[in-house]
Amino acid sequence: MKAVILAAGKGTRIGEFTAKNNKCLIPVEGQPLITYHIDNFARVECITECIIVVGYKAEGIIQQVGHSRNGMKITYCYQPEDKERGIIPSIESAIDVINDDFILALGDEFVYKNHYQETIEEFYKRQLQCMVGVIETENINEVKKNYTFRIRENGCLYDFVEKPEIPYNSYLGTGNIIFRKDVCELLSLVPMNSIRRERELVDLFQRIIQKGNLIHPYIVGEAYFNINTIHDYERLKQFLNSRRDNEYVYE
């Protein structure tokens, strides 16, 4: 299995930092945000390579992250600035080097005490096709900034909606998705959203379901942050500060 981290976007809502840097390099406890993903994936036994999709200020990421970290090989793929917007085009930028099952992550996410190892073990044991990382939140506005879904009686997910005005429940969907490599054959079938003018994850999920496969959820970790704004960044720093006295570890 490989890990694919999407880090091509500009992230203009984070403030002045992104004028000279990619958002994924914003410092968290003394190191770039994106490196926590790499370190987490390096601890998972079956992940053999980390592929980072870069674009905006790519040279900064390559310089700070390098081509290997904690024994994990790192490969870079470039997403052209004129390519279509959305997560799907970013994945397509790496399609030639994935060639394997993979776990997806967004470079501006932070997962506290992730559940990757046990989830990937379950993924292979049950021979699943797709597992979506989710987390429950007390703030329904967080769901509105991500995506929502309905949950069937068997626990599987369906009816995904990006940035919903009225979420179905208190669970938000994250960018931490485990895919079989066959999903790459469906990417070209994902349409452009007519309103946001992006090709989105939620429409890929719909294609997976239409093909007859089930989408299973997993709790991505004990806490989750998507760093889109300065407010999100401050929330993360406050969260980490509150756990300093409790032998906090990054995993």
Write down the pLDDT at residue 196. Answer: 80
Write down the pLDDT at residue 20. Answer: 86
Q: Is the pLDDT of residue 9 over 90?
A: no
Number of neighbouring beta carbons within 10 Å of residue 233: 22
- Taking only the tens place, the pLDDT of each residue in 172-189 is 999 999 999 999 999 999
Write down the pLDDT at residue 17. Answer: 80
Write down the pLDDT at residue 245. Answer: 58
Q: Are 200 and 88 in contact (CB under 8 A)?
A: yes
- Taking only the tens place, the pLDDT of each residue in 66-116 is 999 999 999 999 998 777 788 999 999 999 999 999 999 999 999 999 999
* Cα 236 to Cα 59: distance, rounded to the nearest angstrom: 26
- Taking only the tens place, the pLDDT of each residue in 146-182 is 999 999 999 999 999 999 999 999 999 999 999 999 9
The reported pTM is 0.94
2-243 belongs to CATH 3.90.550.10: yes
Q: Is the pLDDT of residue 246 over 80?
A: no
Q: Is the pLDDT of residue 250 over 80?
A: no
Query: How many angstroms from the chain centroid is the CA of residue 77?
Result: 16
* Phi and psi based region of residue 224 (left: phi greater than 0; alpha: psi -120 to 50; beta: remaining): beta
Domain limits of the chain? 2-243
